[in-house]
Chain A
Amino acid sequence: MQTRWDVGEPHKPTINTSTEQLKSDLLTLNMGPQHPATHGVLRIEIWTDSEIVAHAIPHIGYLHRCMEKHCENLDFRGVIPFVDRLDYLASMNMEWTYAMTIEKMLGTEVPRRAELLRILTCELQRIASHLMAFGTYAIDLGAFSPFLYAFDYREKILRLFEEVSGARLLYNYIWIGGLWNDWSPEQISRVTAFCDDMEEEAKKYHELLSMNKIFIARTAHVGVMSVQDCIDFGATGPILRGAGMKWDLRKNEPYSLYSEFDFDVPVGTGEVGEPGDCWNRYIVRMREVVESIKIIRQVIEKLEPGSIMGKVPKVMKLPEGEVYFRSECPRGELAFHLVTKQDSKEPFRLKVRSPCFTHTSMLPRVAPGQMIADFVATVGSIDIVLGEIDR
């Protein structure tokens, strides 16, 4: 069989066929799989006309583990550590979405304290994930110090998680029916202290990076994705909100206890640049950090002692049926499509709808006509995690 690397000529671009005429003038460059700006093992084949990108083709799959196949051979509880490894920067959100999918099928009632603590951990995780996005995005654009500031505060969250769950990155903490471990009052008071610090720190970040003249010059009016583009491509999360559409599953289709909480959904308004450009996507993330702090404060007010584990059968058998459950993760809407057979102990099919996968497919749309450096800024602003794309 003829493989791709046997072919002498680069293969023809498939989406934007008009570049074919220019083929002799174009230079094919491989960005990745080891390029630092791709945040993992993503290879983007770019066709460049001097320094202008004519066409970009993302090649994914370098981290493919076929986790969906693995899950078909595991019981429902055993899937959770695999789900952790999807988006390894927001493992809590991944676990929670999976747990909610199973709980919906089982009809389990999760105790109120467990639900509140789940919201607490997942909002903390959202902050940690956005801090990571903030730090690495600054590195992409050549600013090193914001990364150190961000990691300082991300570390505080990870320390808390480590105390509570025993792991720093891949937790296996949110279980079907509840939580593995309870938070002590001392830990909760540390969360409060963290929230106070973080609120001040977020203001500092705006001075440090958001309103920095060089940063604005690099990101404003760069990589514009309109609302229509986002809807066509199925983009969600900060990408869609950055384009100016007020859409957040926590508000629009509230799951868990989110309907009880008072928070805003920040959108890209275009006070700098225009809605849908890199700067607006970035600022949506930074504002979401503040909104998450708001939610965490309300959770702490509502917390009451109680049980943290609901009633779950010891041998978990699910009835026949299927469910498509989605939730709002830091990077967009994560969804699980679960199909089960009668009295099955393992999923018949578990499909992960990952937000970054669809966001990567938007790159060929925004790339043509950009400078290479701007393209790096665009890839960074999407904030992709390859573990989730390749599964």
Chain B
Amino acid sequence: MHKELSDLINRNVSGANAVAYLTADAKKFDSSITVETSHIYKVVEFLKTNKTTSFNSLHCISGVDYTDYMEVCYMLTNYDPSAVRNLTLKVRVTDRVNAAIDSVVGQFVSADFLEREVYDMFGIKFNNHPDMRRILCPDDWEGFPLRKDYVAQKDYNGMTVYPDNKMNMEDREFIVRQNMIKKAQAEKAQ
């Protein structure tokens, strides 16, 4: 199903470069389609307007930070029982400093809040978005919390928000240490 869909996208949207990622175990995991970052609007427009797919609802936009690149996942849904129901559409963002992709608000109004959340958490700007502000964090908050390299700021408007004696500090350090040990072991094995 994902293979046919990606072929369909490639045939109709030139330069979309859709690649289907198929899992070995479809019962346990989800498959997805990755498209060219610059073509996301056109692909979404095609998937919505075209007769064979006609995904009419965007339910969720989720960002994932893989450290060397970031991914934005669009969960599209179709309420038509005869068609393909759900699709995970992905784009990759490699530039971490000036991360920006096209907004899909023109096609799905639900993207308004969802894209603002991705911007708030990952710092990916959405071009042509009508209201690109932070949504959950305050407007003058520094950094993007769900990035893997995020370090919380110590003070915010004169309030200490990240004290040194924070309760879970030991736990976090433990995990970091464990990861370092793992890394060292992996390097040793090589």
Contact = CB atoms under 8 A, between A and B. Distances in A.
Interface of A: 1, 3-4, 14-15, 60-61, 64, 66, 68-69, 73, 104-107, 231-234, 236, 245, 247, 252-253, 319, 321-324, 326, 333, 335, 337, 339, 346, 348-349, 351, 353, 357-358, 360-361, 365, 390-391
A245 B79 CA distance: 10
Given A3-B138, A3-B139, A105-B29, 14 more contacts: A14-B130, A105-B28, A232-B109, A232-B110, A234-B59, A247-B79, A321-B23, A324-B60, A324-B73, A333-B59, A335-B59, A335-B75, A337-B75, A391-B136
Contact of B57 (A61, A234, A324): A234
A377 to B, nearest CB: 22
A361 B175 CA distance: 37
A102 B75 CA distance: 19
Interface of B: 23, 25, 27-30, 32, 56-60, 62-65, 73, 75, 77, 79, 81, 85-86, 88, 108-110, 112-114, 117, 121, 130-131, 134-140, 145-146, 150, 168, 171-172, 175
Given A104-B28, A324-B75, A351 B140 contact: no
B interface SS class: loop
Given A351-B62, A361-B110, A231 B28 contact: no
B96 to A, nearest CB: 16
B146 A69 contact: yes
Given A324-B86, A339-B64, A231 B113 contact: no
B30 A322 contact: yes
Nearest to A13: B131
Nearest to B60: A353
A14 B121 CA distance: 21
Contacts of B59: 234, 236, 326, 333, 335, 353, 358
Contacts of B88: 324
A1 B157 CA distance: 11
Nearest to A64: B136
B29 A321 contact: yes
A358 B114 CA distance: 8
A66 to B, nearest CB: 5
Contacts of B175: 73, 346
A180 to B, nearest CB: 23
Contacts of A391: 136
A15 B131 contact: yes
B113 A361 contact: yes
Given A60-B135, A321-B28, A73 B171 contact: yes
Contacts of A333: 59
B137 A351 contact: no
A68 B122 CA distance: 12
A369 B121 CA distance: 34
B64 A348 contact: yes
A333 B113 CA distance: 17
B172 to A, nearest CB: 6
Contacts of A233: 109-110
Contact of A61 (B73, B85, B138, B168): B138
Given A14-B131, A234-B58, A323-B30, A68 B139 contact: no
A104 B114 CA distance: 26
Nearest to B78: A231
Contact of A107 (B28, B114, B121): B28
Nearest to A346: B175
B57 A349 contact: no
Contacts of A106: 28
Given A15-B130, A107-B27, A353-B75, A252 B81 contact: yes
B112 A15 contact: yes
B28 A337 contact: no
Contacts of B121: 68
